[in-house]
Amino acid sequence: MCHKIKGRSLSNYFRRLGRNRWAGRAPFLAAALLVAAPAFAQLGPPQGQSQGTSAVQLPLSGRTAQTNGTVKTSEAPAPSTTATVNTLSPSVQVQGVYAGSTPSVANMPFNGKLGLHEAIQRGLVYNLGQTGATQNVRQTQGISKVALSSLLPNINGTVNENVQTTDLRAEGFRFSFPGFSIPAVIGPFNYIDFRAHLSQSVFDFTAINNYRAANDVARANRYSAQDARELIVLAVGGAYLQTIAARARMASEEAQLQSANAVFDQSKQQLGQGLIAKVDADRNEVQALTHQQRLLSLKNDLAKQKINLARMIGLPPNDQYDLSDEVPFAPAAPLAIEDALAQAFQQRADLKAADAQVRAAERAHAAARAERYPSLGVTADYGGIGVNSNQLETTYTASASLKIPIWQGGRTEGDIEQSDAALSQRRAEYADLKGQIESDVRSAYLDLQASASQVEVAQRNVDVNKEALDLTKQKAEAGVIDNVQFVQAQEQVTDAEFDFINAVFAFNVAKLSLARAMGRAADALPDLLKVQ
């Protein structure tokens, strides 16, 4: 260990040194130590770095948080199962962290019945997308605090105890006195030092802009966490709607299976009485088996939808629970497309995050340019030094350092070029996101209009096909027609009901997508979806 012998402690140190075994040679040792003083001077506080503060380089893209997962909805035209109507086929695609969660039952008990609002609340707390966003915010807040630390006073305490010998010849002492013997090595001698050290940056524009950039990145991640809530609402709400639609299809098919079984039982009786041909009875049996196979497939689909929903909100990954809510068709409140766009540009959290990322890149660019500017800092220490802790003398030092960059080997130019590339990229991403938001709003607006009209057509189609089925059944029972037409009429009712279920699902997904596109899904969900 080493330290500089400071201030008036040096003379005291010489006095104490006289008490050791070299006391009789004190004058000569004093001269030797004076000659060796440059060696002690080298053991003082470390000199400042030859280079100043470096600009912290940001990643080229500000979209790193979006790579962990995505939630997308889409509605594409698809041929209907009936010949009279074409439908929009909605889909909700959840990938990455938004498809997972942490367990929630221990902290939020579950009674086996899941409502839409409870599903959303569980998702907002336990979905892995929210968990990751929260930890990302914490991490960037920590980075911001680290950047701030270089601008605030830094105080440290040290305790040094040294035992040292010195080779006078190695230090260049060659003087000799006739009749006197001067030792080549003096010591061992010791001292102890208790000291507090203070360092403070007075002005360092690079460090200041590094802190501002870190602050902007932290703010961007807070906005990203808000946007993650929007995506969770979209993911969980879409999955809940999808599960409701799957349950409605299964219920419709169960009703059709019961009707087909009743017709088949009646045909068996008629066949036994010789009222119909065996081919008619077989045709009714085939129809019943077809509905049975379809019902098995729909039950399997419903179970999978419930498992996917449970995975998003922290429930055990099984289908052993019931949905307690229905989300029927409810007309959307009138809203002009211009108003929707204005709200989206004002409210979208991801757009605010992209703007904060641009500001962070601007600060980082300013920090790189500031590497060319002088910086001023001060350091000081205060403490006691002596042979032992009972014989301490107070010493202190204070210094100010002005660093003037002259030539840094091209480092500054390289930092400026890197930060300029990141700034250009993030400005491009901000402009692209604005275009994407407008596209999302317009697409959701069109889907909402089309699906609203589709619900009306699908409802009318169900009513017409049910009337046709009743008439066909009466004709078949009267023997006017065979049961081929009756079977076809049954299929048309089933298809019409499926189209209606799909149309309501598409309409509700379009409302949810428009709310997400406008940046208000988490707050406006109760008004959007009229839950029964």
Please give the backbone phi and psi of residue 6, each rounded to the nearest 5 degrees, phi first: -110, 150
- Which CA distances in Å does 297 have to 146, 161, 250, 301, 379? 57, 81, 9, 6, 76
**Nearest CA to 306 among 294, 295, 317?**
317
State residue 171's pLDDT score. 81
Tokens 């912290």 belong to residue: 56
Q: In whole angstroms, give the CA distance from residue 389 to residue 394.
A: 12
Q: b/e for 213-242, b at 16 or more Cβ within 10 A?
A: bbbbbbbbbbbbbbbbbbbbbbbbbbbbbb
State residue 51's pLDDT score. 58
Q: In whole angstroms, give the CA distance from residue 383 to residue 158.
A: 9
Measured over the CA atoms of residue 32, residue 33, residue 37 and residue 42, the dihedral's sign is positive
Neighbouring C-alpha atoms within 13 Å toward the C-beta of 169: 5
The SS3 assignment for 49 reads coil
Homologous superfamily (CATH) of 64-146+209-365+412-524 is Outer membrane efflux proteins (OEP) (1.20.1600.10)
- In this structure, the number of other CB atoms found within 10 A of the CB of residue 382 comes to 14
Residues 55, 413 contacting (CB under 8 angstroms): no
The model's pTM: 0.81
State residue 526's pLDDT score. 66
State residue 382's pLDDT score. 96
**Burial label, 338 (beta-carbon count in 10 A; 0-12, 13-18, 19+):** exposed
Domains in the chain: boundaries: 64-146+209-365+412-524
State residue 78's pLDDT score. 67
State residue 30's pLDDT score. 41
State residue 196's pLDDT score. 97
**Which residues of the chain register pLDDT less than 50?**
1-50, 83
Please give the backbone phi and psi of residue 314, each rounded to the nearest 5 degrees, phi first: 85, 10
Cross-strand partners of 373? none
State residue 361's pLDDT score. 96
**Nearest CA to 264 among 286, 295, 246?**
286
